[in-house]
Each structure stands twice: as C-alpha cells, then as structure tokens.
Structure 1
Amino acid sequence: MISVHLQGQRFQVRAAAIVLHEGHLLVHRAPGDPYWALPGGRVEVGEAASATVVREMKEELGEDVACGALLHIAENFFDLSGQRNHEIGFYFLVSLPEGSQLLDKARIYRGIESHLELEFRWFPVNQLASINLRPTFLHASLAADPLAFSHAVQREYP
C-alpha cells in the first residue's frame, strides 16, 4: 500500500467508493470511531485507484462492484490518533450489482478490514450535514445537483 512516514507525517494515497442509491449514500466506520467515511482503502503500488475501489469493496463486503467515473480528487490534511496525515484521495462513483443484499437501507451491515469489523450504513444524502462525515468537503459536494467533478484541499491543521 502507498503509505509512508515522512517528516513526522504519514503520507498515503487512498481510493474511495461513492455508492449512491435512491437518494442514499453508503458509508462506514471502524469500532469506536466518532466519524463516518466512504468505503475504500489505500492504493497498492502499481494498482490503479479504480481497481483499489473494486478490490476493497470485495474484501470488506464481499461485493463485486462496478467502478464508474472519478468524481473528486482531494488533498486532505488531518490528525488521526495524534498522527498528522497528508492524504491524496480519489473518489469514484460506484454501483452495486442489481439484486445486491446491501441495497436494504434499513439494515446495518458488517464488513471486515484486516482485523477490524466495520459498520456500514446508508444515510439520506439530504441529511449528510447531520452526520460526522470525513472529509467534510463531502457534505456539500455530494448534496450538489447535479454532481460535478471537483478538486478539494481540506486542511484540519495549519
């Protein structure tokens, strides 16, 4: 995976899935996390970011997804557990297969990331501002109609 420690910071390249269905967005979080994020993971060396999304969805949820258009590129600077992070993120529109068991919006789904059990849930797009979604630029960008490509620079620290 592309994740290195440089000058006291962790630098990583991440690819994430924007899974929208009937006005809802699929998000996940690790146990104890106070925030939600888009499913995805770190890009492997030599791997296209779109392939990362497909691989991560298969690993975490057992779903074969179709990775569509790149919707956002983000330069994200944030602290996590006392560690400064500089992340380059690629955010792709992703569709689930027809008849996927993940399409029931009322359920909470469990997935696996390495040794962590992840919680996956659907939230209405028009209510995203009410949840702690990271990175926060996603609140406005996913509520836009129509959705449009963007480049975001998000800084949680100077």
Structure 2
Amino acid sequence: MDATFHLNNAVFNVRAAGVMIETGHVLIHKQVSDNHWALPGGRVEILENSQSCIIREMKEELGFDVKINRLLWVTENFFEYNSKHFHELGFYYSISSATASSHFTTETFHGEEGNRLIYRWVPITELKQLPLFPEFLRTSLKQLPLTPKHLIFRQDSL
C-alpha cells in the first residue's frame, strides 16, 4: 500500500524519484496519456523508506538495479492534476546503474510495465523546452546541488 491519501478533492502523497544521468542526458518518463514528463520513480509505500522505494521502482519499471548516490532535493509540491489538488512530498536522488553497464539509448522506449509509460533520455541542455515537472528540474538538473536542498512549490492556481 502506497503512502497516498485521498480527501474529497485533495490528494497527499509521498514520491521518490531518480536523477539518472548518462552521456549528458537525463532519463525522464511520462504516462502515454499525459502531455508532461517527470523523473522516473513512484509513490513510497507505507513502512518503506524513500531510498528503497526508488530502488524498487527502477527495478519494477525498467528491469535493472540502481544504487543511490546521494539525496539532491526534498520538495513540498502543491499542484493540480486531473481536477484534484495535490500536496506531494518528493525525495529526489542522484542514482546510477548498480553495474558498470550503460542504459543510454537514443530511442524512446517502454519499460517493464508495458505501454503505460514512455521513457526517453534527453540532453540536459534541452530540458528548458520540455514540459518537465516539477518545473525547477528544467534548470536545476544542469548543476546538481552539492548538499541536499529543501524546496517548496505552489502552482499559481492553488
């Protein structure tokens, strides 16, 4: 059971995401039906820590093991999605392959869960033009923080 709580027209959830960078590209994904992109990851399950979550999610979604390098950001993100107000706590980790093998490809691809998600390696220099959320990632992925940062974002319509 994931740490997502639904209350009337609002949702509270805890998410962990991985920043995987290879050859100047970052791995992003989106649901086939969505117009926006995000970093791969998922909802933290009850009694699961955020590091274990990202390791589990990457294995489930992409079929390979990752290691956690370090925590980059902790975010409090307030936004609207599918006519619901979200309050999301996000843990963003620098991750890399647990083996020496590269996973980089120039092709868009689907993961282990079928055609529900589309993955793509995007040059970090081109992120500003993409609908990537949370929006701070469009510029912040160019220079990762040396120590973890706490960030709060509130979508204007909330």
Summarize the alignment of residues 6-155 of structure 1 with structure 2, pairs less than 5 Å apart. Answer: 6=7, 8-96=9-97, 97-100=99-102, 102-104=103-105, 106-113=106-113, 117-144=116-143, 147-148=145-146, 149-155=148-154
Amino acid at match of 2:122: F
Gaps of 5+ in 1: none
Q: TM-score, normalised on structure 1?
A: 0.91
* 3-state SS of 1:147 partner: coil
Residue 143 of structure 1 and its aligned partner are, at CA, apart by 1.5
Residue 73 of structure 1 and its aligned partner are, at CA, apart by 0.6
Preserved contact between residue 12 and residue 42 of structure 1 (Cα < 8 Å): yes
Q: TM-score, normalised on structure 2?
A: 0.91
* Separation (CA, whole Å) in 1 of partners of 2:109 and 2:58: 13
**Identical columns (%):** 39
Gaps of 5+ in 2: none
Residue 147 of structure 1 and its aligned partner are, at CA, apart by 3.1
Preserved contact between residue 31 and residue 116 of structure 1 (Cα < 8 Å): yes
Preserved contact between residue 31 and residue 118 of structure 1 (Cα < 8 Å): yes
Residue 112 of structure 1 and its aligned partner are, at CA, apart by 4.5
* 3-state SS of 2:117 partner: strand
Preserved contact between residue 12 and residue 86 of structure 2 (Cα < 8 Å): yes
* Separation (CA, whole Å) in 1 of partners of 2:128 and 2:92: 19
Preserved contact between residue 42 and residue 54 of structure 2 (Cα < 8 Å): yes
Preserved contact between residue 63 and residue 112 of structure 2 (Cα < 8 Å): no
* Separation (CA, whole Å) in 1 of partners of 2:8 and 2:142: 36
